[in-house]
């Protein structure tokens, strides 16, 4: 029977499932992630690990963990692990695809609406006593109806965002590695290159994974190409955006606002200039944070661990 290390307390029945199968489960007790040395030591005494997006698993940690057979990331993204290095060390890396697309798309849309209609700004002002009367000019925002949404990355989450946008009767442009003619026909999507998407969109929502190719995909040139007054929504990964360029685009007034569920680094230090803009919303990486979805993600990660510890292939490998 195996020793399973889980880097944080998790919701749902995943721990019970692992224990019912006879495995010993060690859950890191802190609210904060284990520091690198504690993580390395825990991996060294484990057969399996369940990790979160902020747990960086280095090749050195893998080399120091001879028993380790699987790192099951409780996330669809796995940019915190080098899958090739893990494969070389004989360690499976798995993720949790499929279960969090709708939940993350809900948050992307919540941020889109909140930024467009200045919900957070208005709430802040109301609490500070700013609501003196009904005003014909206060907190004027942007309509979603009839506006153009540019979706960068049309995977599961991008598609779920497109379905929502269609319900709001938006025009939808998309840019993706692969073109999806069936979805284009079904949802009325228009494929275009990144530059045309940026130039033609009132809202841009990011849904690509973070890879060497997408790091700082939105830099100074991209912001210069964007429609003046456009709003950026990022629920993907902070590293896709060059944050210095984003600050400059906000400072110059080129960008109408930004709603960010992800930043670089996370958490974003409170001294960061992004906090100084009233038209910026920042949430703490909660895209998949519904009770049901987080429980399903944990259970899926547990299913991957159970498979490997029973000598089977995991259902969701990313480094086979």
Chain positions contacting ligand DGY, by CB under 6 A: 53, 75-77, 100, 287-288
Determine how many CB atoms are found less than 10 A away from the CB of residue 209. 15
Given the structure tokens 């946008």, which residue do they identify?
165
Task: Dig out the tokens for 122 from the structure.
Answer: 């208005």
Least distance CB 286 / ligand DGY (angstroms): 8
Please provide the size of the chain in residues: 320
Least distance CB 308 / ligand DGY (angstroms): 20
Active site residue 237: yes
Please identify which of the residues 8, 175, 207, 237 carries the catalytic annotation.
237
Which candidate, 44, 48, 57, places its Cα nearest to that of 24? 48
Which candidate, 49, 45, 103, 111, places its Cα nearest to that of 78? 49
Query: Which residue lies nearer to ligand DGY by CB, 94 or 148?
Result: 94
Query: Which residue lies nearer to ligand DGY by CB, 155 or 287?
Result: 287
Residues 261, 284: Cα–Cα separation, whole Å: 6
Please identify which of the residues 67, 266, 291, 320 carries the catalytic annotation.
266
Query: Which residue lies nearer to ligand DGY by CB, 208 or 288?
Result: 288
Residues 43, 56: Cα–Cα separation, whole Å: 12
Helical segments of the chain, H only: 14-20, 36-44, 59-63, 83-88, 101-116, 119-127, 156-167, 181-187, 194-200, 220-225, 243-251, 291-309
Least distance CB 288 / ligand DGY (angstroms): 3
Query: Which residue lies nearer to ligand DGY by CB, 6 or 76?
Result: 76
Query: Which residue lies nearer to ligand DGY by CB, 53 or 149?
Result: 53
Sheet holding 148-152, edge to edge: 189-191, 171-175, 148-152, 203-206, 230-234, 255-260, 280-282
Please identify which of the residues 8, 118, 207, 285 carries the catalytic annotation.
285
Least distance CB 78 / ligand DGY (angstroms): 8
Residue 151 β-bridge partners: 174, 205
Exposed/middle/buried for residue 198 (C-beta within 10 Å: 0-12, 13-18, 19+): buried
Active site residue 266: yes
Least distance CB 177 / ligand DGY (angstroms): 18
Catalytic center residues: 237, 266, 285
């Amino acid at each position: 029977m195996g020793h399973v290390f889980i880097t944080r307390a998790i919701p749902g029945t995943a721990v019970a499932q692992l224990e019912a199968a006879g495995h010993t489960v060690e859950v890191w007790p802190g609210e904060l992630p284990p520091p690198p040395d504690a993580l390395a030591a825990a991996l060294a005494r484990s057969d399996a690990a369940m990790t979160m997006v902020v747990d960086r698993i280095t090749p050195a940690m893998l080399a120091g963990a001879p028993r380790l057979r699987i790192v099951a990331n409780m996330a669809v993204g796995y940019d915190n692990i080098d899958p090739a290095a893990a494969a070389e060390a004989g360690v499976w890396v798995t993720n949790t695809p499929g279960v969090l697309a709708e939940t993350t798309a809900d948050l992307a849309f919540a941020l889109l609406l909140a930024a467009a209609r200045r919900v957070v700004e208005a709430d802040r002002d109301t609490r500070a006593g700013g609501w003196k009367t009904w005003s014909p000019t206060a907190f004027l925002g942007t309509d979603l109806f009839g506006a153009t949404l540019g979706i960068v990355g049309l995977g599961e989450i991008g598609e779920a965002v497109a379905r929502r946008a269609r319900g709001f009767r938006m025009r939808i442009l998309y840019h993706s590695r692969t073109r999806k003619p069936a979805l284009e026909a079904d949802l009325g999507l228009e494929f275009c290159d990144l530059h045309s998407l940026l130039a033609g969109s009132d809202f841009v929502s990011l849904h690509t994974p973070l890879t060497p190719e997408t790091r700082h995909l939105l830099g100074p040139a991209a912001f210069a190409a964007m429609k003046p007054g456009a709003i950026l929504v990022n629920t993907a990964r902070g590293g896709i955006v060059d944050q210095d360029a984003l600050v400059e685009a906000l400072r110059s007034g080129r960008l109408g606002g930004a709603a960010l569920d992800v930043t670089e680094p996370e958490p974003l230090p409170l001294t960061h200039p992004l906090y100084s803009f009233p038209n910026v919303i920042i949430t703490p990486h909660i895209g998949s944070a519904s009770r049901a979805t987080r429980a399903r993600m944990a259970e899926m990660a547990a299913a991957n661990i159970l498979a490997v510890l029973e000598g089977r292939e995991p259902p969701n490998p990313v480094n086979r």
